[in-house]
Copies of this chain bind each other. A is one copy, B any other.
Amino acid sequence: MQFDFSDGLFKLNGKPFYMNSGEFHYFRVPQAEWKKRMKLFKEMGGNTISTYIPWLIHEPAEGQFDFDSPQLNLRHFLDCAAEMDLAVIVRPGPYQYSELIYDGLPPWLCMKYPEILARDRHGRVMHYSAVSYLHEKFIEKVSAYFDRVCPIIAGYSAQKNGPVIMVQPDNELGGVHLWRGDFDCNRETMGFGCDSGRFAVYLRQRFGSVEQLNRRYGCSHTTFGEFGPPPDTTCVSPSALLQQRDYADFYWHCAAEYLKLLIELMENRGVVGPFCHNSANPAMNCCFYEVKKQLGNRMLLGSDHYYTLDQRWPQNNPTPQYAIRCFISLEQLRLMDNPPCVLEFPYGSLSDWPPITAEDVEACAMMHLGFGMRGHNGYIFTGGMNVPGTGSTTDMYDYNAPVSADGETRPTYYALQRFAGYLNAHPEIIESQADSDFRILMPWNLAYADNKWSGVVCPGTVGAAQAWNSFVTGLVTSAFAAGLMPEMVNPESDEWVNCIDKPLVLWNNGCVDQLQQQKLVHFMENGGRLLCLPVIPKYDENFEKCTVLADYLEGATAGKAVSPSDRMVRLNIAGIKNVYCNNEFYPAENIPSGAEIIGQNEFSGETVGWYKNGFMFLGLNWCHGKNEHAAMIAKLLERLGMQRRIVSNDSWIITVLRKHAAGTTLFAMNLSSSTRTVTLQIRPDGTGEFYPPEIIEIPAMTVVTKNFITRGDRLC
């Protein structure tokens, strides 16, 4: 069995396949049940299983290992999987979480070696099981555990005709600190106070001189070693904010070092990759950008996409708002050269209330497929009793899984079977590509800032976290509400500069690095058409003045934010009257001569949009609410030459067209609690006439598909 991933696809023996995985904890499921449940899993359509290998269970006392007791016999488990012709992903930690006590670390480790515990910026222990990843003592103990577990894994690798196709170091990296309130500031690990310490070395490499750093932070230190943890997040001076962001950067730099070190430790013990890691949620994907670039195809980055784990989550079901976040997440993973993959896909939940229903699970899976998901690992396929004393929630780890802790199939099982059935019947979907209407440059910096711990706001710019929020809830949501399909492009790539067949959107907060600004000028010079919003860049990513793009636009700028609570606002944009301004607008300041005015505040006459020579500015930052928002974005992009693929009469139905060898497939997603009847006009590739309108009735929480085979202008 040869497994790899490239070109955005998982491949088995060189052939693209959909990685249909389910989490299966051998240490919870009775051994006598393993093969029976694996059979059930295969009958559900699965081809891969995934499991944690929990340190606390295999090394219950320091130096005492157990890989042989019936339910802890990892080798036997892997033998069973091989026998059942199932691929396996193993996740040997050190961390597991998985509702195990001490997040899966051995209690003796944290109790006996308290020096390894992570500390917050004030020096306080953050949690009894939150350790400092790179602490020498911790790594020493991890190594001893890896000495035992890695040889087992190595013996079962796919390269040796074993079932293990991927190995995941650690779990949801960063969560153990950030969910407990802070970045790790363990003095020993970070080496504060020492010029050769980890933090000092990082600062020296990044900033070169102490003087420059003193200027940046407003300090007067004499050595790099004197720089310590960042100030409180309540300090909001520009220098304090920069210190906070730099420390966040450093933290993720350390996380990358830790991930690479774990991989090295495994490889030194015979484990061959590829490796994988799961970002804890879509918002954290961007934090792994650097390490993923460094590791390339040695590591798959996936994301965990839960929609509810208890009643406090923002939704009970896979709602349209959740779908849009999933779309962005999968696009981020794709831009990072991964086959878009959800490494923890919700098959169950920690809670019984809200419940996980068959309809929800099936709609969720089909929605992800429509957005280009190439594989997933359902969390969890089946569970069982926790090893006594190791569960942190309840003894029975059932998780409302498709196969219960007792081995009974639940309605979600059959829902997932239908999903696999769809994939079997439509293998063309696996290699399909979105038939997009326009492109958007992924604003990585804004996504990064959305992680609360680094919400740097530079004077004269839009708050980065706020700008990310309106990117998601405004621009991208309005596009889907308009029946449009956006495609993300990576600003760091060079490809888009010459792709001028579709309009491109630059959503920015006023800070865009110089190289990207230069590329944007080239794009325009190439004949590209650009929509720039809600402001025009003035600074680079370090908040230094940078007006490469603005200079090309005859010095065009956006003015200060105006909120509807400041003064009366009524915006008319692109022929759409009274576009609801529910965040704020940015009146144009310097407008190039001869520019066409395309949007104004009716009360004040202020310009909020203009167009000249393929460039369009829209000074609006909104949260999608009204059909007018959708109509506006469609009109603006059409003014820039967009040929839309779909005209829909229902903004609540998300539509996607996917192109493939057999034609084009429509996904129409009703992620609500009511049946909806939608009328769609469709023209794949945005060429030719629209097909005759399709009237489709879609039951509540259902994704329907429809295949089009285009022969001339005939629709089949």
A-side residues, CB < 8 A to B, are: 101, 127-128, 180, 310-312, 314-317, 319-321, 350-355, 357-360, 391-396, 473, 477, 481, 564-565, 567-568, 577-578, 580, 582, 623-628, 630, 651-652, 672-676, 700-701
Q: Which of A321, A350, A626, A675 has the most CB of B within 10 A?
A: A626
Q: Looking at A353, A360, A473, which has the most chain B CB atoms within 10 Å of its CB?
A: A353
- A311 and B473 in contact, given A320-B354, A673-B701, A674-B360 (Cβ under 8 angstroms): yes
Besides A352-B626, A700-B701, 11 other A-B contacts (C-beta < 8 A): A101-B568, A316-B319, A353-B625, A358-B674, A359-B674, A392-B564, A393-B580, A393-B626, A394-B578, A395-B577, A674-B701
Tell me the complex Cα distance, A676–B411, Å: 11
CA distance A635 to B114 in the complex (A): 41
The answer to whether B392 touches A623, judged by C-beta atoms less than 8 angstroms apart, is no
B127 contacts A565, C-beta separation under 8 Å:
yes
The docked-state distance in angstroms from the alpha carbon of A565 to that of B125 is 12
Residue pair A625, B311 in contact (C-beta under 8 Å): yes
CB <8 Å contact, B672 and A623: no
How far apart are the CA atoms of A519 and B625 in the complex, in Å? 51
Could you pull out 16 A-B pairs where Cβ atoms are within 8 angstroms? Answer: A311-B321, A311-B623, A316-B673, A317-B673, A352-B626, A353-B477, A353-B652, A354-B652, A355-B672, A358-B674, A391-B578, A392-B564, A393-B626, A394-B628, A673-B673, A673-B700
List chain B residues, Cβ under 8 A from A625: 310-311, 350-353
> How far apart are A504's CB and chain B's nearest CB, in angstroms?
25
With a cutoff of 8 Å between Cβ atoms, the chain B residues found around residue A357 in the complex are 672-674, 676
Docked CA distance A395–B577 (Å): 8
- B-side contacts of A481, CB under 8 Å: 352-353
Contact (Cβ within 8 A) A315 B315:
yes
On chain B, the residues within 8 Å of A393 by CB distance are 578, 580, 626
Instruction: Give the residues in chain B near A394, CB-CB below 8 Å.
Output: 577-578, 580, 626, 628
**Cross-chain contact B352 with A623 (CB below 8 angstroms):** no
CB of A399 to closest CB in B, whole Å: 11
What's the number of copies of this chain in the assembled complex?
2
Known: A391-B578, A473-B311, A673-B359. A624 touches B353 (CB 8 A): yes
Shortest CB-to-CB span from A634 to chain B, Å, is: 14
User: Which DSSP category, helix, strand, loop or mixed, fits chain A's interface?
Assistant: loop
Chain B residues positioned under 8 Å from A128 (CB to CB): 565, 567
**A317 CB, nearest partner CB in chain B, Å:** 5
CA of A161 to CA of B92, assembled, Å: 80
With CB as the reference atom, state the residue of chain B lying closest to A629.
B353
CB distance from A296 to the nearest CB of B (A): 37
**Complex alpha-carbon distance, A175 and B57, angstroms:** 55
Whether A354 contacts B672 in the complex (CB less than 8 A), given A391-B578, A394-B626, comes out as yes
Closest beta carbon of chain B to A229's beta carbon, Å: 22
Given B311, B359, B676, which contacts A477 in the complex, CB threshold below 8 Å?
Answer: B311
CB neighbours of A355 from chain B (8 A): 651-652, 672
- Do B360 and A673 touch (CB < 8 A)? yes
Chain B residues closer than 8 Å to A351, beta-carbon distance: 625-626
Most chain B beta-carbon neighbours within 10 Å: one of A394, A567, A623, A651: A394
From A577, A582, A625, name the one whose CB has the most chain B CB atoms within 10 angstroms.
A625
Complex: chain B residue closest to A358, CB-CB: B674
Residues of B within 8 A of A311 (CB): 321, 473, 477, 623-625
Complex contacts, A582 vs chain B, CB 8 Å: 310
Tell me the smallest distance from the CB of A695 to a CB of chain B, in Å.
Answer: 16
Q: Do B316 and A672 have beta carbons less than 8 Å apart?
A: yes
**Complex interface: chain B residues within 8 A of A360 (CB):** 673-674
Closest B residue by C-beta to A321: B311
**A350 surroundings in chain B (CB, below 8 A):** 625
A215 CB, min distance to chain B CBs, angstroms: 30
* B310→A623 contact, CB < 8 A: yes
Nearest residue, chain B, Cβ from A99: B580
Contact partners of A628 in chain B: CB under 8 A: 394
* Nearest CB of chain B from residue A323's CB, rounded to whole Å: 12
**Complex contacts, A565 vs chain B, CB 8 Å:** 127-128, 180
Residue of B nearest to A393 (CB): B580
CB-defined contacts of A395 to chain B, threshold 8 Å: 577-578
Q: Which residues of B contact A359 (CB under 8 A)?
A: 673-675, 700
Residues of B within 8 A of A630 (CB): 353
A473-B312 contact, Cβ under 8 Å, with A128-B565, A577-B395, A580-B394: yes
Q: Which residues of B contact A314 (CB under 8 A)?
A: 314
Q: Tell me the minimal C-beta distance from A458 to chain B in angstroms.
A: 24
- Which chain B residue has the least Cβ–Cβ distance from A351? B625
Quick one: closest B residue to A395, CB to CB? B578
Kindly list chain B residues whose C-beta atoms are within 8 Å of the C-beta of A358.
674
Q: In whole angstroms, what is the CA distance A358 to B675 when docked? A: 10
Question: Complex formed: what's the CA distance from A28 to B132 in Å?
Answer: 63
Measured CA separation A447–B522 after assembly (Å): 59
Residues in B whose Cβ lies below 8 Å from that of A623:
310-312
B contact residues around A701 at 8 Å (CB): 673-674, 700
**Chain B contacts of A477 at CB under 8 A?**
311, 353
Q: Nearest chain-B residue to A478 (Cβ)?
A: B353
A579: nearest chain-B partner, CB-CB: B394
Q: Closest residue of chain B to A127, judged by CB?
A: B565
- Of A311, A321, A675, A676, most B-chain CB atoms within 10 Å: A311
Chain B residue with Cβ nearest A671: B673
